[in-house]
Structure 1
Amino acid sequence: MCGIYGSTLTYNESQVKDKLKRTAFRGPDKMGWQFYKQNNHQIIFGHNRLSIIDLDLRSDQPFTYHEYIHVVFNGEIYNFKSIKDTLEKKGYQFRTTSDTEVLCAAYLEYAQDCVEHLNGMFAFVIYDEKKQLFFGARDRLGQKPFYYYHDGKDFEFASQISSIQLHHDNLTVSERSISYYLAWGHIPDPLSIFNEVKKLKAGHTFTFDLNTCEFQSQPYWDIDYKNEKPFKGSYEDAKQELNEILKDAVSTRLFADVPVGVFLSGGIDSSLIAATATQTSTSKIKTFSVKFNEKGFDESQYAQKVANHLGTDHHIIECNNDEGIDLIENFCHYYDEPFSDSSAIPSMLLSKYTKKHVTVALSGDAGDESFLGYHRYNWTLKKSGIYKLPKSVRKLSATALSKMPNYKLKVISKALRYSDENDFYLSIMTGVDLSYIRTSYDYHDIDELKYLRHNHKNVVERISDFDTKTYLNWDINTKVDRATMAFSLEARSPFLDHRVVDFANALPTEFKMQDNNQKRILKDILYQSVPKQFFDRPKAGFTMPFERWFRADLKEYVLSELNDEALKSIPCIDIKKVQFMIEQHMDGSWNRYPLIWKLLVLKQWLNTNGKGLSVV
């Protein structure tokens, strides 16, 4: 796991070092850079290394293979040994034991189709001197970030946007991106906070021709949202096959030349990963969880129970509001775009203390998206029937419910006014009350709507696919990457193995969700190793007690950070509406913590990064 950087813009060595130092937390073991000459122009490749596989200096980057293939690579290729065996039989020779060298050889053998052979999480750029070409890719599910600047002539790329921003005087803040952020809580791909910088979409490759300066990107993978390859076997067949895929996904992710552990929340997903890890590893597994002191938020006892049963070396990390404030105040240094998932804070805390014991940690991320685990899936399925009612009936009901004082009834009132379940689900994901946003941009205008608005699958499968392409990529993967890399910790998720995602996508809905039994198939696999009664409790999210903190311990902090003068500096908001909503939160009449946190993060970013920049 590392940070990558490259550019055709002219920077001196000192400036390149500044850009690499800005994100040195991604790879503190070795900082390296190289200048290449091309037709009287310079090409820069830079790399911050977090040593995981082949710790020897021979695998430092930028890495050169066969003298004319140069690469900077962030991530892991889990099946690199099998690729290496195949390439060795074809005559390729290797001088390291790293996956980086295998990537270069795979490019020489398969050209741009090399990505089809890779199972992993990655973002990389290869400079092919003979072809005078940059070729790069981002992994299928978007676990590793990739930002780029292209002005029609020059090209610059990095793992984090702050490396591009530094010593760059041609950037403007995007009003469109701010409006999208206020709605979604993050900035959807391919947008970034700057108009001139984009994100390479997940599952895409790109080429940049150094002679013509032409940039092109294209997809190489997608989910089967049209349901063209459904699973045909029985439930028992599916359970057995999925179990084998998961075992391989876990065992390959346990391979490293550094200590490895597992994040264990005590829920279904992380418990299954921990159980599988104990079955496939020859050494004792270390597990890690977070403990909150606030009643209703602490689930560490459930993680401890699972750890005791599995016999892991378990570590519990306590989270309090004092440490939370410290992380909040430094938030945008690591999440160097506005990002408002508040679970990033406990994720950072978990990573900070986990790093003291291991350098790699397996997580249970992506189990909910692929196996229908979120409460909102069941809720949407149950509420979708209301859209079969005549519009006139729904309109009358909505009017009546809107006059009720109850918050939930007001939400149902809004739901009745949507045209169908697709718009209803969009409102869940972007927020039911966005009346405070002032913008001319349509923040629902995203390419990924095609995964939601079609008739190839039922509603719950459509929203699952939509979340895989949006929420998982834009939110969860961003949160985990930044939170772990902030403390030089590599996170690996077996559920993000594309074989697991493809297999889950092909399964009949009832294999994953039967009546109210969500994640049915995962639970049945887990219960072979851990007693079912351990999980007889409501599903809980990984959240912070911000609702309470913002009314108590952090009340003065919120009111000072979001005072009248501060709100004037935030684009795209109705100040009076926001002031009213903050008052609602403080007097306890409405839970507005998501809005407050969203504005705190945006204001911090603007104060740190937006001074002197135009918002257009």
Structure 2
Amino acid sequence: MCGIYGSTIIYTKSQLQDKLERTKFRGPDKQGFKFLGDAYRPIIFGHNRLAIIDVDERSNQPFTYNNNIHIVFNGEIYNFKILKKQLEAKNYEFHTTSDTEVICATYLEYGEDCLKYLDGMFAFVIYDETKQKLFGARDRLGKKPFYYYINDKHFEFASQLSSIQLHHNNLTISNKAISYYLAWDAIPDPYSIFNEIKKLQAGHCFSFDLINYKFKDRVYWDIDTTIRNPYQGSYQAAVKDLDGLIRNAVSTRLFADVPVGVFLSGGVDSSVVAALATKTTNSKVKTFSVKFNEKGFDESIYAQKVANHLQTDHHIIDCNYNEGLDLIKNFSHYYDEPFADSSAIPSMLLAKHASEKVTVALSGDGGDESFIGYERYKWMKQVSILYKLPNCLRHAIAKTAGLMPYYKLKMIGKGLQQNDINSLYLASVTGVNMSWLKSDFDYTDVTEKKYLFHTNKNLYERLTDFDIKTYLNWDINTKVDRATMAYSLEARAPLMDHKIVEFAQSLPTHFKFKAKNQKRILKDVLYQYVPKEIFDRPKAGFTMPFKEWFKNELQDYVLSELDITSLRQIPNIDADEVHKMIEQHMDGSWNHYPLIWKLLVLKQWLNTTGKGYIIK
């Protein structure tokens, strides 16, 4: 896990050092850059290394293979040992034990088709000196970030936006991106907060011809929206097959030349990862969870029960508002564009303390999306019945609900005004009540809607596909990458192995959700190792007690940061309406903490990282 950087723009050594130093936290073990190309076609590659596999300096980057292949790489290739043996049989020679060298040889053997063979999480760029081109890619599910700037002959890329931002004089803040952020809590790919900087989308690769300066971006992996290869076996056979897939995904992700642990929340997803980690290693597994003192937020007791059963070396990290406030004040330094998932704070806290004992941590991310785990999926199925009623009757129900004095009923009433169930889901994930957002364009207009608005799959399957391409990619991956990298910790997600995702998509829906039993098959894998009784409780999310903190310990902070004068300086919002919503939160009549949090984050970013830039 590292931070990569590269450019065809000529910078001074001091400026390049600044760009690498800005994200040194991503890789503090070794920092370096290399001048490639020539005076006519200059190329600079830079790298901040977090040494995980083959920690010897021979594997430092930028890395050169066979004299003419140069690479900067962030991530891990989990099947690199298998690929290495196959390539050695084809007479390729290797001088390290790293996966970086294997990527280079795989590219030499298969060209751009090398991506078919790489199993892992990655963002890399190769400079092919012979062909005079840059070739790069981002992994299938978007675990690793990739930002780039392109303008004529100028091409610049990095793991984080801030490295490109430094020493750039022609960047402007995107007003459209601000509206996207306010609706989605994150900025959707391929956009960034700056008009001139883009994100390479998950499952995409690119080439940049250094002779004619043409940039080509293409898809190399995507979700199957038609289920061309449905699973043909029995349910019990599927449980066994899934067990094997997860066992293999966990086992390969435990490989490292540094200490490895597991994030354990006590939920199904992280518990199945922890359980199979204990089954695939001989050493005692270290597990980590966060504890909140606020009632209704502390799930650490369940994590402890799982840890006790699995006999892991368990560590509970206390989260209090003083430490939380410190993280909030430095949030923009690590999340270097606006990002509003409040669970980023406990994720940072978890990473901060786990990094004192391990350098790699496995997580349970991806289970809810692939195995129909979120409560909102069940709610959408129930509400879909109302869309079978005549429109006039549904609108009457919506109007009646909207007149009720209860916030949830009011939101249901607003939601039912949507034309169809797909539009309702889209509104539910962006915000049903968005009257406070003043936008000149349709913030729901994202290309990923195609995974939701089609008829090839049933409702559950379309919702999960859509969330894999949006929420998992834009939100979860961003949250985990920045939170862990802030403390030089590598996060690996076995349930996001693309083979598991593809397997889950091939399964009949009732294997995953039957008779109110969500994540059915994943649970049955887990119950082979951990007693079912531990999980007989309502599903809980990884959330912060911001609702209480904003009314109590952090009330003064909120009111000073978001007074009416400050609100009027924030783009694309109705300041007066937002001010009323903040007052409602403080007097306890409504819970508006998600809005308060996203405005705090945006204001902080505009006043620090975004200060001095024109918005257009």
**Shorter-chain TM-score: which interval?**
over 0.9
The amino acid of 1:343's aligned partner reads S
Q: Which residue does 2:547 correspond to in 1?
A: 547
CA distance in 2, matches of 1:442, 1:370: 28
Q: Which residue does 2:469 correspond to in 1?
A: 469
The amino acid of 2:535's aligned partner reads F
Q: Which residue does 1:103 correspond to in 2?
A: 103
Bigger mean CA deviation after superposition, 25-34 or 218-227: 218-227
Q: CA deviation at 1:40?
A: 2.2
Bigger mean CA deviation after superposition, 471-480 or 380-389: 380-389
CA distance in 2, matches of 1:610, 1:82: 45
Q: Which residue does 1:408 correspond to in 2?
A: 408
Q: Which residue does 1:520 correspond to in 2?
A: 520
Q: Within 5 Å, which residues of 2 pair with 1:273-352?
A: 273-352=273-352
Are 1:28 and 2:28 an aligned pair?
Answer: yes
Taking every aligned residue pair, what percent have the same amino acid on both sides?
Answer: 66
CA distance in 2, matches of 1:65, 1:350: 37
Q: Which residue does 2:563 correspond to in 1?
A: 563
Q: Which residue does 1:491 correspond to in 2?
A: 491
Query: Match of 1:247, SS?
Result: helix
Q: Within 5 Å, which residues of 2 pair with 1:220-235?
A: 220-235=220-235
Q: CA deviation at 1:407?
A: 1.4
Q: Which residue does 1:188 correspond to in 2?
A: 188
Q: Within 5 Å, which residues of 2 pair with 1:71-470?
A: 71-470=71-470
1:177-236 deviation per Cα after TM superposition (whole angstroms, max 9, x unaligned): 000000000000000000000000000010001111111110000111122221111101
CA distance in 2, matches of 1:511, 1:188: 31
Contact 2:332 2:609 in 1 (8 A): no
Q: CA deviation at 1:152?
A: 2.3
Q: CA deviation at 1:408?
A: 1.8
The amino acid of 2:405's aligned partner reads P
CA distance in 2, matches of 1:332, 1:214: 34
CA distance in 2, matches of 1:570, 1:182: 11
Q: CA deviation at 1:382?
A: 1.0
CA distance in 2, matches of 1:558, 1:319: 19
Query: Match of 2:126, SS?
Result: strand
Query: Match of 2:551, SS?
Result: coil
1:408-443 deviation per Cα after TM superposition (whole angstroms, max 9, x unaligned): 211221122111110110111101111111111111
Query: Match of 1:6, SS?
Result: strand
CA distance in 2, matches of 1:89, 1:282: 31
Q: CA deviation at 1:446?
A: 0.5
Bigger mean CA deviation after superposition, 173-182 or 390-399: 390-399
The amino acid of 2:376's aligned partner reads R
The amino acid of 1:523's aligned partner reads K
Q: CA deviation at 1:558?
A: 0.2
Q: Which residue does 1:501 correspond to in 2?
A: 501
The amino acid of 1:359's aligned partner reads T
The amino acid of 1:411's aligned partner reads M
CA distance in 1, matches of 2:225, 2:515: 23
CA distance in 2, matches of 1:245, 1:395: 46
TM-score of the pair, normalised by structure 2? 0.99
Q: Which residue does 1:530 correspond to in 2?
A: 530
Contact 2:415 2:428 in 1 (8 A): no
Query: Match of 1:417, SS?
Result: coil
Q: CA deviation at 1:39?
A: 5.0
Query: Match of 1:36, SS?
Result: strand
Contact 2:564 2:576 in 1 (8 A): no
The amino acid of 1:605's aligned partner reads W
Structure 2: 5+ residue stretches without partners: none
CA distance in 2, matches of 1:469, 1:54: 33
Q: Which residue does 2:65 correspond to in 1?
A: 65
1:260-315 deviation per Cα after TM superposition (whole angstroms, max 9, x unaligned): 00000111011100000000001110000000010110011111111011010000
CA distance in 2, matches of 1:40, 1:212: 13
The amino acid of 2:261's aligned partner reads G
The amino acid of 1:537's aligned partner reads R
Q: CA deviation at 1:153?
A: 2.0
CA distance in 1, matches of 2:236, 2:255: 29
CA distance in 1, matches of 2:38, 2:424: 53
Query: Match of 1:537, SS?
Result: coil
The amino acid of 2:347's aligned partner reads S
TM-score of the pair, normalised by structure 1? 0.99
Q: CA deviation at 1:557?
A: 0.2
Q: CA deviation at 1:102?
A: 0.3
The amino acid of 2:424's aligned partner reads F
The amino acid of 2:385's aligned partner reads G
Structure 1 moving runs of 4+ over 6 Å: none
* RMSD, matched Cα: 0.7
1:582-601 deviation per Cα after TM superposition (whole angstroms, max 9, x unaligned): 11111111110000000000
CA distance in 2, matches of 1:110, 1:8: 26
Q: Which residue does 1:48 correspond to in 2?
A: 48
The amino acid of 1:439's aligned partner reads S
Q: CA deviation at 1:568?
A: 2.0
CA distance in 2, matches of 1:610, 1:314: 40
Bigger mean CA deviation after superposition, 150-159 or 481-490: 150-159
1:511-569 deviation per Cα after TM superposition (whole angstroms, max 9, x unaligned): 00002100000111111111000001000000000000000000000000011221122
CA distance in 2, matches of 1:284, 1:610: 45
Query: Match of 1:472, SS?
Result: helix
CA distance in 1, matches of 2:200, 2:522: 32
Structure 1: 5+ residue stretches without partners: none
CA distance in 2, matches of 1:168, 1:35: 19
Query: Match of 1:64, SS?
Result: strand
Q: CA deviation at 1:385?
A: 1.0
Query: Match of 2:262, SS?
Result: strand
1:150-175 deviation per Cα after TM superposition (whole angstroms, max 9, x unaligned): 01221000000000000001100000
The amino acid of 2:356's aligned partner reads K
CA distance in 1, matches of 2:367, 2:398: 35
Q: Which residue does 2:587 correspond to in 1?
A: 587
Query: Match of 2:394, SS?
Result: helix
CA distance in 2, matches of 1:243, 1:528: 10
Query: Match of 1:48, SS?
Result: strand
Query: Match of 1:418, SS?
Result: coil
CA distance in 1, matches of 2:530, 2:417: 44
The amino acid of 2:69's aligned partner reads I
Query: Match of 1:70, SS?
Result: strand
The count of corresponding residues between Structure 1 and Structure 2 is 616
The amino acid of 2:177's aligned partner reads S
The amino acid of 1:442's aligned partner reads D
Query: Match of 1:316, SS?
Result: strand
The amino acid of 1:525's aligned partner reads V
The amino acid of 2:582's aligned partner reads I
Q: CA deviation at 1:38?
A: 2.8
CA distance in 1, matches of 2:38, 2:496: 38
